[in-house]
Amino acid sequence: MATIVLLMMTAQGPDSRAAGVAALREAGHDVRVVEPRFPDCQKALDSVRAALVVVDASHAPSHGRITAGWMATQPRFRTTPFLFVDVADRDMARVKKELPRAQFATWASIVGASERLAKRRS
CATH of the domain at 16: 3.40.50.2300
**pLDDT at residue 90 in the model:** 93
DSSP state letter for 108: G
Residue range 33-52: mean pLDDT, rounded: 86
pLDDT (tens digit per residue) in 58-80:
888 888 999 999 999 999 898 99
pLDDT (tens digit per residue) in 3-39:
999 998 876 555 667 888 899 999 999 999 999 887 7
Q: 7 has which bridge partners?
A: 34, 55
- Give kind and range of the element (H or E) at residue 40: none
Residue 23 lies in a domain: yes
Residue 119 lies in a domain: no
- The number of beta carbons lying within 10 Å of the beta carbon of residue 42 is 14
Residue 67 lies in a domain: yes
Give the chain's domain count: 1
Residue 122 lies in a domain: no
Is the model's pTM score more than 0.85?
Answer: yes
**Do 29 and 3 contact (CB within 8 A), yes or no?**
yes
Range of the domain at 93: 6-103
Query: Average pLDDT of the chain?
Result: 88
Residue range 73-91: mean pLDDT, rounded: 93
Work out the pLDDT band at 98, boundaries 50, 70, 90: very high
**pLDDT at residue 13 in the model:** 55
**Do 39 and 10 contact (CB within 8 A), yes or no?**
no
